Amino acid sequence: MRAAGQLVGQVLLELKRMVAPGITTLELDMAAERMIRDGGGIPAFKGYHGFPFSICASVNDEVVHGFPSNRKLNDGDIISIDCGVVLNGFVGDTAKTIPVGRVRAEWLRLIEVTEECLARAIEQCRVGRHVGDIGWAVQQHAEAHGYGVVRDYVGHGVGRKMHEDPQIPNYGRPGTKEKIRAGYVFAVEPMINLGTEATKVLADGWTVVTLDGQPSAHVEHTVAVTEEGPELLTLITGEAEAPSQEQTELATSS
Ligand code: MG
Ligand code: MG
């Protein structure tokens, strides 16, 4: 699972570097599939319940499961890219929300707080804690900022299959639900809306959007529970230090 996690983590990092105004989400999808196959993996999403692509590309008010298309990313957009691979029979699943060019501060703050929610959730992935602790950690941090916590979609166990038990909701109460044991592996994935939590599915049968049209952020890591604490299988070491394209451009232009 470490190998699958590292492959998909590396793919997502490369996709993040490609994100810029003018690129289409289909170009990102094609690049993802090529990198996954070059790495010896199989795109976990492609063909999953008929999903036709290797990534989910969800722009602005799209929450999750967006279809890659010929849509060009615009300056000021945010895009959630969710990617999964199967490598040697095991699945890695990870997502990031990436700003495109210069994004308004309110939306950047939404992404930042969603990442904080993920970090707080991961802190709860410890032996003896409960699944409800994970959801509680996300919910109380997001709601303290006035954001809507999506309830219609949840994180999940992950292993030989992408979606395994238990479900990992982004809401809950401490000390409730399943007790966490060493060896469990979870895909922890807060989906946080700037406005209200309500969502709907578009006519394509997949793309989930916010009901109020406000933007949504989504970040995900595959996390293994060990006796020593949570291990982030999809985190690439040194990732935090790697400047994104828009940071590079800002640095160059200033
Ligand atoms: Mg995912
Ligand atoms: Mg997932």
With 60 as the cut, is the pLDDT of residue 252 above it?
no
Upstream peptide bond of 43 is cis (omega within 30 degrees of 0): no
Cα 162 to ligand 1 centroid, rounded to whole Å: 9
**Which ligand approaches the C-alpha of residue 167 most closely?**
2
Distance (Å, rounded) from C-alpha 54 to C-alpha 64? 14
Tokens of 114: 């969603």
Q: Is the pLDDT of residue 251 over 70?
A: no
DSSP per-residue letters across 155-195: EEE-SSSSSEEEEE-S---TT-SPBP-TT-EEEE--EEESS
Q: Which of 1, 88, 58 is nearest to 208 (CA)?
A: 58
Share of the chain above pLDDT 90, in %: 93
Residue 174 CA, ligand 1 centroid: distance in Å:
24
Q: pLDDT, tens digit, for every residue of 159-179?
A: 999 999 999 999 999 999 999
Average pLDDT, integer, range 179-205: 98
Q: Residue 238 has what pLDDT?
A: 79
Cα(137)–Cα(19) distance, integer angstroms: 30
Tell me the two tokens of residue 214. Answer: 């406000």
Strands 185-188 and 90-99: unpaired
Output the CA 115–ligand 1 centroid distance in Å. 15
User: Which of 143, 164, 140, 144 has its CA nearest to residue 154?
Assistant: 164
- Does pLDDT of 88 surpass 80? yes
Which bound ligand lies closest to the C-alpha atom of 85? 1
For ligand 1, the distance from its centroid to the CA atom of residue 220, given in whole angstroms, is 6
CB 148 within 8 A of CB 197: yes
Does the pTM surpass 0.85? The reply is yes
Number of the ligand closest to the Cα of 163: 2
- Domains of the chain and CATH, by start: 2-237 (3.90.230.10)
Structure token pair of residue 164: 């395994």
pLDDT per residue over 104-155, tens digit each?
Answer: 999 999 999 999 999 999 999 999 999 999 999 999 999 999 999 999 999 9
Per-residue confidence (pLDDT) for residue 240, from 0 to 100:
59
Ligand index nearest the alpha carbon of residue 156: 2
Place of tokens 């999750």: 64
